[in-house]
Amino acid sequence: MSAVLVVGAGLSGAVIARTLAEAGQRVHLVERRAHLAGNCHTARDPQTRVMVHHYGPHIFHTENPAVWAYVNRFARLRPYRHTVRTTFRGQVFALPINLTTINQFFGLSLTSEQARAHIAALAEPGLDQARNFEEQALRSIGRDLYEAFFRGYTQKQWGRSPRDLPAAVLRRLPLRFTADDSYFSHPFQGIPEDGYTAMVEAMLDHPAITVALNTPFAAELAKGAAHVFWTGPLDHWFGADEGALAYRSLRFEIFRATGDHQGCAVMNFADAEVPHTRITEFRHFTPWESQSQTLCARETPFEAGPGDEPFYPVRLADEKALLARYVARARGLTGVSFVGRLGTYRYLDMDIAIDEALAAAQAWLRLGAAMPAFAVDPLTGQAQV
């Protein structure tokens, strides 16, 4: 029986490999990096023993009980409630914007209903649907809160004016008129006790799975494979011969401190003149551990170039047109399917990536050679199988 080739050892690749192996299919997985778990890779710092999220903070949150049950097969997820703070002009505020944020920012003592009316009075009217991030923000929260918390941060994060970003980017962030400062509202939230890499190791611990690290994909690896699941960047399959899809990447500056450096896991920096967007203090992701030292990472976004790790797909008008050309070419192929955040050029939370990977693997088990290039359409996000 020929093995299925899975390219990439992130969550999507690991879930596909495990699902196929449990169905009796041999799987060979290759990963160009020296570690498992992709961009959710975690490892303990040898000096401080703090568990480090090497590619930025990852918090597992979902409303899908099946996905929650799935990850708990491979790791003990300890309860974790994520909170974020932001620094603006020397003051620290809670995010997402909530009742406490509103009262602190305006120096008021409003009730929930008073705060709702106050924000409604500040919001700028518009007759048509908001055309971009800035218009959406002005219509939702008004100019003062937008310019304090979103304009500078968004410019740094995306390297583009908020006027050039879609309104949907802001719609993902809640606005609350209670004192609830939880960043996520999903019923299932946690972090693997031993880190995400240990969880992925457990997923790949199956006799039908072989793993090769430090192994970039080469065409000869696919020869004779029963099927290829590609979790790398979609354009890389084609050698980016029509042009590279645009991504934002991240630069991490690690530094050590004593005690508790900032009192929270993530501190955003909203001022436009501060070059970094946030500082992550990793010890706060394991509140069940006692740490005498701390380790932090200062995070600065930049435009991804050749050799840089891609993090956030840009997906503006030019990229969508280029994406459509690659999608059309991919649909003309047989024997390969494109999955995951990079393979479908979409921003995916971990739970969505897992759910889509499960669906892709199960679809191949049903369809075999009739498996389409995409289980989820990269252009619309709609399921194809």
As annotated, the active-site residues are: 172, 176, 248, 278, 299, 347, 349
Q: ∠ at Cα 197 (284, 41), nearest 5°?
A: 70
Helix axes 11-22, 196-203, angle to 10 degrees: 30
**Identity at 384, one-letter amino acid code:** Q
Q: What is the DSSP letter of 172?
A: T
Taking the alpha carbons at both ends of the chain, their separation in whole angstroms is 25
Residue 114's CB is within 10 A of a number of other CB atoms, namely 15
Cα-Cα-Cα-Cα dihedral sign, residues 264, 269, 274, 277 = positive
Segment 42-48 long-range contacts (CB within 8 Å, at least 24 positions apart): 42/192, 42/195, 42/196, 42/197, 42/198, 43/195, 43/197, 44/195, 45/282, 45/295, 47/256, 47/293, 48/256, 48/291, 48/293, 48/294, 48/295
Report helix, strand and coil shares of the chain as percent, to nearest 5: 35, 20, 45
By the 8 A CB rule, do 59 and 241 touch?
A: no
CA distances (Å), origin 312, targets 39, 90, 105, 161, 247? 11, 29, 30, 16, 5
DSSP state of 148: I
